[in-house]
Homo-oligomer: A and B are copies of this chain.
Amino acid sequence: MGWLPDETGLDRCAANHVALTPLSHLRRAADIFAERTAVVYGQTRRSYLDYYGRVSRLASGLAAHGIKPGDVVATLLPNVPAQAEAHFGVPACGAILNTINTRLDTDTVAYIFEHGSARVVLCDSACIGLAEDAIKAMQGPAPQIVEIADEEAGIEASGHYLTYEALLEQGDPAADWVMPEDEWESIALNYTSGTTGRPKGVVYHHRGAYLATMGNAISWRMVLYPVYLTIVPLFHCNGWCHTWMVPMMGGTLVCCRDITARNIYDAIADEGVTHFGGAPIVLNSLINAPESDRRSFDHIVEVFTAGAPPPAATLAAIEPLGFNVTQVYGLTEVYGPATECTWKPEWDDIQGDERAALKARTGVLMPMMEEAVVHDSHGEPVARDGAHLGEIAMRGNAVMKGYYKNPEATRAAFKGGYFRSGDIAFQHPDGYIKITDRAKDIIISGGENVSSVEVEDVLARHPAVSLCAVVAKPDEKWGEVPCAFVELKPEAEATEEELIAFARARLAGFKTPKKIVFSDLPKTSTGKIQKFELRAVAKLL
């Protein structure tokens, strides 16, 4: 190992070793970017000095209400400034931030309150009913509700609870922060929106959150002073860690409560938004927005999309509007994005389907991670031939500590020294990974694996198709057959026979869907299609 023969006096000390934590970014920003605009929400604009002061008030206010280091503080909040403040203020009193998806059902929120033992929940006025119902349904000590009204959205406080602003009033804008002594201390607890069974509590360490901010900034080609729009919910992998990243860059965080095309266009035109992340469905909403919701702008907006590869038609339609779309891939367990379809300059002139195929790649390792590889069932890397399938396995410093109070699931997820994603992929000869399916989305028809994504890609090219999802339908003869659920574009028409014929002309017979269902697709709050619901429907067909 790289130890000199004499290391006397060369130990870690206060001068040369500080626990890595994203809290450092906001402290530095308050110092060196003091007067720059940190947070924008409607008419609200706050400088870094203000932001820091409010965060310090929150941390000391929580402490005054009995929150101790190691306690869990939950939030039920849309992308409003309080949610960003909680990302710093909760860990700044030594507590662990548990952002809860505001669109979950009562039972699941009750489960999360119970399992995480939240002491306080910072709750948007629009979510008070959900919080109250969950508290009624839960066992054990309930979290104290601190209510956040939203003047910008015209939402008033219920009057029944301590308000967030009152809590801040009790705090001290110059309070000392509780900084981690060990960068392995916990900073966040994020429950996966598991589609089966109880959600699992993913625990983040300060070190990973810090390194994710640096790796994301570099990989995303961000330069100083970005204007970042919050489209990815901050309760989803802490908004891919971007709330923690923006102060490092002296950037401006533009909060967006309601994710609509109009709000996005307005933020771009009025605030000069340079970057945002969102599911492909957000891209479609921008493309399909009525003229009255659009605004013109003269810069290129960098958009990072995840959850599904952007379809060729989406790319072809959105790029001329002034958006550069890059696909990233990750999971809650790896702090959001861990691979990116890093664009190569030599691809610049490639157009059409070939360009879309390149942009649809899952990509390559981001700089804060150590390895992303496709493993066969023996844990060996598959050949990089663009054909052999395996499971994406990752390791590195932006991987969770594990699942809270579930060491068995943690052990299974980390089998062999890698985080096992459950996602099925191949690797191109140049190393770019391409997901073919979430493990549970593979359709096995007559013993052949059918990639649902491949079938979806073909159907999406049909001019009448707006969105589609393909799942397995049980079949007596073949075991399973592909079944497609399709949303058509407004005023477009297509028949089942027409779409099946379209697919058959482009796919092997066993991959061609045997059934097409026209319906609205059920989506999660982050825009992911909920295939488990479609699978349930397909079983009954």
Interface set of A (CB-CB < 8 Å, partner B): 1-18, 20, 24-25, 28, 31-32, 34-35, 69-70, 72, 91, 94-96, 117, 178, 180-182, 184-187, 189, 203, 205-206, 208, 214-215, 217-219, 221, 223-225, 248-250, 342, 345, 364-365, 367, 370, 394-397, 399-408, 410-411, 413-414, 417-419, 430-431
Contacts and interface: CB of A to CB of B under 8 A. Distances in A.
Contacts of A72: 4
A31 B431 contact: yes
Contacts of A370: 18, 24, 28
Nearest to A189: B4
Contacts of A406: 9
Contact of A16 (B187, B218, B401, B405): B401
A221 to B, nearest CB: 4
Given A2-B94, A4-B186, 7 more contacts: A2-B69, A2-B178, A7-B186, A9-B407, A14-B418, A16-B400, A214-B367
A25 B367 contact: yes
Given A2-B185, A404-B4, A396 B221 contact: no
Given A185-B2, A221-B223, A367-B28, A418 B15 contact: yes
A219 B233 CA distance: 28
A214 B213 CA distance: 10
Nearest to A182: B1
5 contacts: A1-B94, A2-B187, A13-B417, A28-B370, A218-B248
A293 to B, nearest CB: 30
Contacts of A4: 70, 72, 96, 186, 189, 203, 404
Contacts of A404: 4, 6, 10
- Which of A10, A12, A406 has the most B CB atoms < 10 Å from its CB? A10
A404 to B, nearest CB: 7
B3 A410 contact: no
B405 A3 contact: no
Contact of A2 (B6, B186, B431): B186
Given A9-B410, A32-B431, A185-B1, A223 B223 contact: yes
- Which of A7, A35, A419 has the most B CB atoms < 10 Å from its CB? A7
A9 B402 contact: yes
Contact of A399 (B16, B178, B215, B221): B16
A117 B417 CA distance: 38
Contacts of A410: 9-10
The 4 closest A-B pairs by CB, nearest first: A9-B407, A14-B417, A2-B185, A16-B399
A152 to B, nearest CB: 26
Contact of A401 (B10, B187, B396): B10
A2 B405 contact: no
Contacts of A413: 15
Nearest to A225: B345
A208 B395 CA distance: 21
A430 B365 contact: no
Contact of A15 (B3, B6, B417, B430): B417
Contacts of A189: 4
A469 to B, nearest CB: 31
A221 B250 CA distance: 12
A19 B223 CA distance: 27
A414 B2 contact: no
A364 B1 contact: no
Contacts of A403: 9
A37 B341 CA distance: 19
Nearest to A71: B5
Contacts of A411: 9
Contacts of A3: 69-70, 185-186
Contact of A180 (B1, B178, B184, B407): B1
Contacts of A248: 218, 367
Contacts of A218: 214, 217-218, 224, 248-249
A504 to B, nearest CB: 37
B365 A32 contact: yes
A20 B397 contact: yes
A246 to B, nearest CB: 12
Contacts of A414: 13-16
A16 B407 contact: no
A396 B21 CA distance: 12
A499 to B, nearest CB: 38
Contacts of A13: 414, 417
A484 to B, nearest CB: 34
Contacts of A96: 2, 4
